[in-house]
Structure 1
Amino acid sequence: MTIPDAFQSWFTLQGWTLLPHQREMTARFAAGHSTLLTAPTGTGKTLAGFLGSLIDITQTRPNGLHTLYISPLKALNYDIERNVTAMIEALSLPVRVESRTGDTSQHRRQRQRAKPPHILLTTPESLMLLLSYPDAAKMFGTLKAVIIDEIHQVAASRRGDLIALALAQLEAYSPGFRRIGLSATVAEPELFCGWLGLENKRVDHLDSRTLGMAEAAPEVAILPTRKAPPYNGFMALYAVPEILSEIAKARTAIVFVNTRAQAELLFQFLWEANEEALPIAIYHASLTREMRLKTISLMAAGKLRALVATSAIELGIDWGDVDLVIQVGAPKGVSRLLQRIGRSNHRVDVPSKAFLCSANRFEVLECEAAIAAIRAGKLDGDVPQPGAQDVLAQFILNAACSAPVTPETLYALVRTAWSYRHVSYAEFETLFRFVVDGGYVLRNYDRWHRLSETEQGWIPASPQISRRHRQNIGVIIEAGKLKVRRLHGRGGKYLGEIEEQFGQSMRPGDTFFFAGEVLAFERIHDMTLDARPTAAREPLLPTYSGGQMPLSTFLADGVRGLLQSETTLNELPAVVRDWLRLQTRFSRLPDRQYLLVESFPRGKLYTLVLYTFEGRRANQTLGMLLSRRMERYELHPLSFTITDYGLAINSVEQVTDGMIHDLFSPDILADELEEWLADSPMLKRSFRRVATIAGLVEQNSNAARKTLKQVTFSTDLIYDVLRKYEPDHVLLRLTRADAERELLDLDRLTDLILTFRDRIAFCELPRPSPLSLPVILDVRTERLPGGGIEALLQQEGPEAAAERLMQEVVDGLDG
């Protein structure tokens, strides 16, 4: 495809020169090829993805939907719409582009179905909603291209399963459309190519770096601070002066954190220290759409000096004035970090600049390992997995809402989706029967009769079934939410949402951080929490489920490798280097060959520390399993503490060298696991998610959203009934698989136990080791049932305790 003169002239006017991968993508589009494009951030991937469509629409003047763009974030859709619209208007192109998300008005949604734009920007959930209508075949019958942005973010998730099934459905409506995947950070492109295309359809991988394009390597360093990072903690309060200083030097900075709670807290710290009154804002997914759009607008206009943000803006958004990124807290993954770093100096010839600011000394190691990986050009990240079957159950009903279906024809379509290519007909038929009537027990209730058979095939049993389904499409199952209304005089303004459980725990007068200010709780009425601004101190911090990012396996191994390298250790900050060298004098350092386990007395108790480097979920599971086995040995475990790096268990009796191999035996994954799951509410939590995604219960009912308490009551009741009367029900099987994957991280834990079963370096010590301090002093402690010896664990503040314990180590060595 030749670049038309009008386009070329406009590029020249902008001072742009089309890069080789942009020209290649345009040529591939003209040839009808599907492509996965990987290119560094700031190298024009979006233009590369859209340029072929814009030229083709201009030349062919299609009547209907031509290109579908799918992204995981609403904010990214808005940003892309703004940029593409600006180009269309500048060139006076006969192209209509619109976005379709959960925020789109009802009037605009109806118009988009009646008269689709040439380019529609949407999310996985909104696309599946469009595919549920009877006119879906007509709307998507003219489709020529599907662009999936940030493919690394969605393909390995349940949202990716939705997209994979949607692609199969779209192929039936418009065979042969082009499939374009875009990403800066794909570690295993061949897997993503498979996910993107049909089994019998080849998708080429185009890496911009293979075309001779020179890119500026990112400049990434540890943020220099006057104070040393503490032994424990998660907020980096010690570094606030230096963070503000770097913000003052930059044109615009983005300060990334890993959770919404951290965003609220760090924003307050920065604001209180902001003597220059620099304009700083906060952005996360729990704020209202209006607040988020206003913040995006201010950033785009260059009116903010800094933005404290979560992952809600880490993908794709292009703000030209951002010249610095500060990552506060360990990055948890190399690819994720590169995405965030790429928000600064969004140009191919200008290096991105970023500082990493660890919250504690263990995180310094993680930051150093991430920097080393970036310099070596290494990537990590999740890869596509077999599709979740609760999503498939949702898709079965979705397809039936659009047109009559039969199990045989729908199964043939599903098998063309890469994520479901290995699903057997027996598995599919079981899911189909579940969608029809709920199964052996539930079929006795009209409520779960969702499909009826006609001569043409299976259709929804009533219009109400279709309506309820459309209100609940999606796989993001959140805890119950309360809208937060900031009262002012007799009126009020909505700021966003907090989780119902947190709101219900407050009493009138309690204060909390939200939307960058301190609010005083007044009341909850009709799922709305009313609060007023206050100057009160020591407010509470809202908690959010699902906010904790797991440490990637790749980065964990990088930390282990770093601890083995004397050369690398010498390059660490002096305070961290001295901490690790003291550890070698007192105990030893963890490495890739052995699992380091330490045991030492602590007051009237004993502590067992395992340096696993396997992330919080795996360590949480290991803590529960080891505690159960320790109880069998009459060691009387009382509590355990977890971090990404290790696990510490407190007990009345001491674990000895002769016990550790039996405690860490692989059979712990059978005996103790089954006992724990039988007693744990964890399976009910997984059942709630699986049952909601599969459509057994609904979060939304007409205009109202059910409370978490209401949904939990329903799912717990159904779970108990199925366990008793239909223990082989398909949802119980899916629940177990979901818990093992999403809550227990069982695959990762199994690999750990099998790898180090006979390679344990056990050190029995007289007191806590230097390396143990960040683990044993972490404020997030899990109390075990029946422990009840709180007084034995009372200590001074965590940092003071760390300094005291460290001094004991030094005194012991010197003595």
Structure 2
Amino acid sequence: MRQLPNIFAQWFNARHWSIHPHQQAMLDQADSPALLLIAPTGGGKTLAGFLPTLAELTDTPRDGLHTLYVSPLKALAADIKRNLRIPVAEMDLPIRIEDRTGDTSYTQKRRQRADPPHILLTTPESLALLLSYEDAPRMFAGLQRIIVDEIHALSESKRGDQLMLSLSRLQDLAPDLRRVGLSATVEAPQAIADELACHPAQCQIIHADPGPDPDIAMLTTTEKPPWTGGGAAYAIPAVLEQVKQHKTTLIFHNTRAQAEIFFHNLWLANTDDLPIGIHHGSLDRAQREKVEAAMVAGQLRAIVCTGSLDLGIDWGDVDLVVQVGAPKNVKRLVQRIGRANHRYNAPSKALVVPANRFEVVECVAALDAVRDHDLDGDPKGPGPRDVLCQHILIAACSGPFDADLLYQQILTVGAYRSLTRAAFDDCLDFCATGGYALRAYDKWKRLLQTADGKWQLRDPRAAQRIRMNIGTIQDTDTLKVRMKGNFKPLGEIEEAFAATLTPGDTFLIGGQVVRYEGLREMTVEVSRRADKTPKIATFMGTKFANSTQLSQRILRMFQQADWSELPSHTAEWLDLQRQVSKLPETNRILVESFPHEGRHHICVYGFAGRNAMQTLGMLLTQRMEELGLDPLGFVATDYATLIWGLEPVTNPAPLFRPPDLRAGFETWLSGNAVMKRTFRGAATIAGLIERNLPQARKSGRQATFSSDILYDTLSKYDPDHLMLQITREEAMRGLVDFGRIEEMLARTAGQIDHLILDRVTPLSLPMFLERGRIAVAGAGQDRIMEDEATRLMADAGVASL
């Protein structure tokens, strides 16, 4: 057992603390090439990650960068710096700790490169930027340890792929580098461990005592949830009562718009004037920091928030978490629950609030999964090639590189271990020439091969432009919002939403109702106006779909003999569905056919998630059009797709033939706006499109215009271009989620339960109340026009022609 330096033991004793077993294990195995610590929230995992570093720097003082800490959030890096400096200051250790994020000043960044601190706290994007400089080998030569916090959150995105590629470069610059991953919620620890290590099975996994199970339940309300909607306004009185009974409550939402609506309604109901705040990524940084400071100081009773407060920041005395709306993902719910009672071996307390009737079922399924410690997650696919292209350009910025050595480095990254040399060379050729259709343009000739076989930038001045566009986070086109006559910003709204506003319109931002006054120098100017019903700003951010595992739990719940764990109103609803129709099953597709308001309807229960069910609606209506069934429109949710048309569907089986669906998908995808949107994101990451320029940042419309032209050009003259290949891969697993449709077809093996009924069924009822029904253009609409014309002619007494 490795002993802590005496000064640490004295510091622990002075606080009546003792080192936790998992912290001791991290200390004992500190020399391992890679360690993954899985510890509950409040279990001291951050200190466990840093203890070996602090001990080594205390026993053997040295200059230069010793440990690099990488966080998915700038705020988390700042929080860790604040907390880590406390023991360093109290023990008077000669250790310098600094952070480096997008908020760090230019002067400090330059100084850090010349004279790095012992411990540097940063983000994946800032690390990639550091590696792009010529002095990176000098700065990182003595690096001993890298700590990746909340590794589960990074591993699920391209930011994680970018980080792991950066680690492969760091390992080459510092061969003795040891890797440490920290996480509280991991459904497949070995998969994360293999991703963290240079080689499979090289990473040691340390499990901390998970502590007591959380105290979780569904909020009891006097009012029944509505049939549809996501605002949960019915629960405001019950939530407010819970706020009154607790010190500090975090009220999580899945989207920023929903958070704004709920905060506004909560504020109106807050007759006791309890101090409450709102926090999400579209608010101005100064406003977010003001809320964060008030939380730490214990000045707020409730904070309405989104994923901006998901991760491991210790925000004061939070003793209750409320999740409004079905969590859609069990891991996300566990992560959010952990924000309450942020102490070791103290149970977290959380309440879940379903926004509508079906979400009651979703919430019960999610709560059961949490109690069963059954986390969800899909297997990670191969590393995205747009991120690889950016990595190649970053390597070129730091100086000439050997392609063979770079390829060998990349093969040590878990997601890229199966990367073929041909695929790597395609990316290299793209970075060098832009690809076949673009090689005639100097703009995309960025690399050249020198006489010694190495690759370098064709024009060294290109390094500045590449560095300005490093990163994988795709910003939605936004405009800043500020009060007229005041330069202090309130936050941001999407450019597309701003385009719908006319002077006098009102909308919500930061919990305030503001009046749109006009657009001035790409800034939305507003004034205060609380006497009109506001529009809701279209905030950027993820709209979650149910995970595959959670959907399967719901389907299994449907087959229970009774639903005693459900509220009576929901249990009676499902029982009625079972009586008049049937409930969907795991290995069969349920299709209901019934008339309503003179139209023929079919409701398809696939439980494949909102994106997949939306895509399925498009494919099925396309097939119906081909078969002469004249569909008129559809609407989709996480669990079903409702289609209405002029002809009845007597046999749905032909609609679900996999080859036909695949062919229809191929045809639709090739000319759909989804492809252009996906192309724009991938091309920006790969460096084909520059959003940030030395003189100015491109507006969203400029970037869209240029990316659309590029997409059309490549589609016409070079349909096999690397960027089009990447776009297709991204679209398949992203916005349209066709993979989950294929999984649904494979799971059900063509088994369809088709019920022909005489009226709307209980389970389909919420679909009729969904917003955003999608009309289908085609012969069906033409027939409606003809029928309407015939009726009008008859009313006018004119004979049919």
Secondary structure (helix, strand or coil) at the match of 1:743 reads coil
Match of 2:795 in 1: none
1:32 Cα deviation from its structure 2 partner: 3.8
1:226 has 2:222 as partner: yes
- Report the CA distance shift for 1:313/1:523 in structure 2 as closer, same or farther (over 3 A): same
Secondary structure (helix, strand or coil) at the match of 1:137 reads helix
- Report the CA distance shift for 1:299/1:320 in structure 2 as closer, same or farther (over 3 A): closer
In 2, distance between residues paired with 1:585 and 1:108? 69
TM-score normalised by L of structure 1: 0.94
Match of 2:617 in 1: 623
1:789 Cα deviation from its structure 2 partner: 6.3
Secondary structure (helix, strand or coil) at the match of 1:63 reads coil
Secondary structure (helix, strand or coil) at the match of 2:536 reads coil
2:355 to 344, 353, 359: 359
Match of 2:791 in 1: none
Match of 1:141 in 2: 141
1:200 Cα deviation from its structure 2 partner: 6.3
Tell whether the 8 Å contact from 2:95 to 2:118 is kept in structure 1 after alignment.
yes
Tell whether the 8 Å contact from 1:613 to 1:646 is kept in structure 2 after alignment.
yes
In 1, distance between residues paired with 2:270 and 2:137? 56
Match of 1:96 in 2: 96
Structure 2 unmatched ranges of 5 or more: 785-801
Secondary structure (helix, strand or coil) at the match of 1:322 reads coil
In 1, distance between residues paired with 2:451 and 2:663? 51
1:790 Cα deviation from its structure 2 partner: 13
Match of 1:742 in 2: 734
In 2, distance between residues paired with 1:791 and 1:158? 47
Tell whether the 8 Å contact from 1:664 to 1:757 is kept in structure 2 after alignment.
no
Match of 1:720 in 2: 712
In 2, distance between residues paired with 1:355 and 1:790? 50
1:383 Cα deviation from its structure 2 partner: 4.3
2:425 to 405, 429, 439: 429
Tell whether the 8 Å contact from 2:22 to 2:208 is kept in structure 1 after alignment.
yes
In 2, distance between residues paired with 1:571 and 1:735? 45
Match of 1:604 in 2: 598
Tell whether the 8 Å contact from 1:100 to 1:109 is kept in structure 2 after alignment.
yes
Code of the aligned partner of 1:570: S
Match of 1:663 in 2: 655
1:416 has 2:412 as partner: yes
1:393 to 386, 389, 393: 389
- Report the CA distance shift for 1:785/1:75 in structure 2 as closer, same or farther (over 3 A): farther
Secondary structure (helix, strand or coil) at the match of 1:491 reads coil
Match of 1:72 in 2: 72
Tell whether the 8 Å contact from 1:511 to 1:536 is kept in structure 2 after alignment.
no
1:481 has 2:478 as partner: yes
Match of 2:691 in 1: 699
- Report the CA distance shift for 1:541/1:483 in structure 2 as closer, same or farther (over 3 A): same
Tell whether the 8 Å contact from 1:596 to 1:611 is kept in structure 2 after alignment.
yes
Tell whether the 8 Å contact from 2:256 to 2:541 is kept in structure 1 after alignment.
no
In 2, distance between residues paired with 1:526 and 1:700? 18
Match of 1:26 in 2: 27
1:538 has 2:533 as partner: yes
Tell whether the 8 Å contact from 1:500 to 1:707 is kept in structure 2 after alignment.
no
1:371 Cα deviation from its structure 2 partner: 1.0
Tell whether the 8 Å contact from 2:630 to 2:780 is kept in structure 1 after alignment.
no
Match of 1:635 in 2: 629
Code of the aligned partner of 2:124: P
Compare 675-684 and 339-348 and name the one that shifted more: 675-684
- Report the CA distance shift for 1:531/1:464 in structure 2 as closer, same or farther (over 3 A): farther
In 1, distance between residues paired with 2:506 and 2:188? 47
Aligned residues: 783
Match of 2:792 in 1: none
Match of 2:110 in 1: 110
Give the fraction of aligned pairs with identical amino acids, expressed as a percent: 46
1:259-658, aligned counterparts within 5 Å?
A: 259-455=255-451, 457-487=454-484, 490-567=485-562, 569-656=563-650
1:653 Cα deviation from its structure 2 partner: 1.4
Deviations 1:363-412 (A, max 9, x none): 11111011111111211134433110010000001001012013222112
In 1, distance between residues paired with 2:705 and 2:597? 43
Code of the aligned partner of 1:512: F
Structure 1 unmatched ranges of 5 or more: 793-815
Code of the aligned partner of 1:79: D
Compare 373-382 and 641-650 and name the one that shifted more: 373-382
2:722 to 707, 721, 730: 730
Secondary structure (helix, strand or coil) at the match of 1:670 reads helix
Secondary structure (helix, strand or coil) at the match of 1:606 reads strand
Code of the aligned partner of 1:24: A
Code of the aligned partner of 1:544: F
Tell whether the 8 Å contact from 1:76 to 1:313 is kept in structure 2 after alignment.
no
1:791 Cα deviation from its structure 2 partner: 14
In 1, distance between residues paired with 2:379 and 2:291? 33
1:559 Cα deviation from its structure 2 partner: 0.8
Deviations 1:122-147 (A, max 9, x none): 11111100100001111111111111
Compare 773-782 and 164-173 and name the one that shifted more: 773-782
Match of 1:81 in 2: 81
Code of the aligned partner of 1:260: R
- Report the CA distance shift for 1:166/1:571 in structure 2 as closer, same or farther (over 3 A): same
Match of 1:710 in 2: 702
Tell whether the 8 Å contact from 1:156 to 1:385 is kept in structure 2 after alignment.
no
Deviations 1:266-322 (A, max 9, x none): 110100110011111111111122111111111111111111110111110112410
In 2, distance between residues paired with 1:250 and 1:453? 65
- Report the CA distance shift for 1:116/1:455 in structure 2 as closer, same or farther (over 3 A): farther
Match of 1:127 in 2: 127
TM-score normalised by L of structure 2: 0.95
Code of the aligned partner of 2:322: I
1:504 Cα deviation from its structure 2 partner: 1.5
Deviations 1:334-385 (A, max 9, x none): 1110000000001122210000000011111111011111111211134433
In 1, distance between residues paired with 2:319 and 2:261? 24
Secondary structure (helix, strand or coil) at the match of 2:182 reads strand
Tell whether the 8 Å contact from 2:295 to 2:316 is kept in structure 1 after alignment.
no
Tell whether the 8 Å contact from 2:645 to 2:780 is kept in structure 1 after alignment.
no
Code of the aligned partner of 2:774: E
Tell whether the 8 Å contact from 2:432 to 2:446 is kept in structure 1 after alignment.
yes
1:722 Cα deviation from its structure 2 partner: 1.1
In 2, distance between residues paired with 1:536 and 1:393? 52
Match of 1:806 in 2: none
Secondary structure (helix, strand or coil) at the match of 2:635 reads strand
In 1, distance between residues paired with 2:317 and 2:392? 46
Code of the aligned partner of 2:362: E
In 2, distance between residues paired with 1:103 and 1:552? 34
Code of the aligned partner of 2:415: S
Tell whether the 8 Å contact from 1:156 to 1:382 is kept in structure 2 after alignment.
no
1:415 Cα deviation from its structure 2 partner: 1.3
1:120-269, aligned counterparts within 5 Å?
A: 120-199=120-199, 202-209=202-209, 215-269=211-265
In 1, distance between residues paired with 2:136 and 2:644? 59
In 2, distance between residues paired with 1:504 and 1:554? 39
Deviations 1:43-64 (A, max 9, x none): 1111111111111112221211
- Report the CA distance shift for 1:787/1:363 in structure 2 as closer, same or farther (over 3 A): farther
Code of the aligned partner of 2:497: F
Code of the aligned partner of 1:230: P
- Report the CA distance shift for 1:346/1:787 in structure 2 as closer, same or farther (over 3 A): farther
